[in-house]
């Protein structure tokens, strides 16, 4: 039994030594512990859990946003067109956007909404004439690229790629109750110089045409009014398929008539319908602007209206 008593005695001796030296060690180490205490506290198990949790949420949010964008697929799409006016040319496009495209476009633009501005007196500025909100859309977003390709195909030979013409930077615009955009035109009196970061640097450009496509129509009021445009008596309805697909609209001749009315002060007023769009030509062949394309976003009575602006640009030497 004697051998077993030695380890026990050794342990007792070690404990005695630690007990004697502990106060000395504490007195020596306490200044350093005071300095390190904030950092030691920050590395507590609870704080580590919080940090890991926050990092996981951030990764999850980024992953969700990325997957939302990367999961979009540009599918073949069919829409129908109806000539509303031949001179100036104004076309109503039924089912220009699909529900999946609308959802993806809204997701792409939602974080960027800010008060709308106009280009006036050589600079961008706010104005009481335009009280909506706007959001620039990234051209490299898959849904944005898909819709811009459709718009470019719609334009046919109106744009000259060799000259540098393009569909321009797209934009979302949003109206809530009471908001409006008074009478205005999309084209400029004089071609604008290509500013820093723009394509076609060193040349001038103007908006040769316009697309106005509605994404959200949960509202009353908010019609798009062309006071100087009257309906062509004979209408022409055409169904266009991008590659292949199923008919996105009803395709009935004259079906677009239910989407607009004769305005009491003249011209035509188009009510917002999600997925549908208007297209019109802004410039004459000589490059001057057509005053008859002046239009307005009438005040929203209630609800929400969101639309997409596409302004194809023609460049000049």
8 Å CB contact between 228 and 85: no
Q: How many residues does the chain have?
A: 317
Q: How far is residue 112's CA from residue 105's CA, in Å, rounded to a whole number?
A: 12
pTM for this structure?
Answer: 0.73
Burial class (CB in 10 A: 0-12, 13-18, 19+), 304: middle
Burial class (CB in 10 A: 0-12, 13-18, 19+), 212: buried
pLDDT tens digits, 190-236: 999 987 666 666 799 999 999 999 999 999 999 999 999 998 854 44
Least confident of 55-59, 69-73, 107-111, 300-304: 55-59
pLDDT tens digits, 61-81: 334 444 455 689 999 999 999
Q: Which residues pair with 308 in a beta bridge?
A: 172, 213
- For 195, which DSSP code? P
């Amino acid at each position: 039994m004697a051998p077993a008593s030695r380890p026990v005695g050794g342990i007792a001796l070690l404990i005695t030594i630690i007990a004697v030296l502990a106060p000395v060690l504490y007195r020596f180490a306490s200044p350093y512990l005071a300095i390190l205490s904030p950092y030691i506290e920050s590395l507590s198990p609870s704080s580590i859990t919080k940090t890991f949790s926050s990092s996981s949420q951030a990764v999850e949010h980024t992953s969700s946003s990325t997957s939302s964008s990367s999961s979009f697929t540009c599918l073949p799409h069919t829409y129908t067109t109806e000539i509303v006016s031949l001179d100036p040319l104004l076309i109503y496009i039924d089912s220009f956007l699909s529900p999946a495209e609308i959802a993806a476009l809204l997701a792409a633009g939602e974080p960027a909404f800010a008060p709308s501005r106009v280009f006036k007196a050589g600079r961008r500025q706010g104005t009481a004439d335009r009280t909506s909100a706007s959001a620039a859309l990234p051209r490299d977003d898959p849904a944005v690229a898909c819709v811009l390709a459709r718009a470019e195909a719609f334009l046919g030979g109106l744009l000259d790629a060799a000259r540098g013409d393009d569909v321009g930077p797209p934009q979302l615009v949003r109206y809530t109750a009471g908001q409006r955009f008074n009478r205005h035109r999309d084209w400029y009196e004089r071609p604008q110089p290509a500013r820093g970061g723009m394509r076609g640097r060193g040349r001038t450009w103007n908006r040769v045409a316009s697309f106005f496509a509605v994404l959200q129509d949960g509202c009353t009021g908010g019609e798009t009014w062309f006071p100087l445009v009257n309906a062509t008596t004979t209408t022409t309805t055409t169904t266009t398929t991008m590659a292949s697909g199923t008919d996105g609209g009803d395709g009935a001749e004259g079906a677009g008539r239910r989407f607009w009315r004769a305005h009491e002060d003249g011209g035509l007023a188009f009510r917002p319908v999600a997925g549908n769009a208007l297209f019109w030509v802004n410039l004459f062949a000589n490059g001057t602007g057509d005053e008859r394309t002046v239009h307005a976003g009438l005040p929203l009575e209630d609800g929400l209206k969101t639309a997409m602006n596409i302004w194809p640009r023609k460049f000049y030497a």
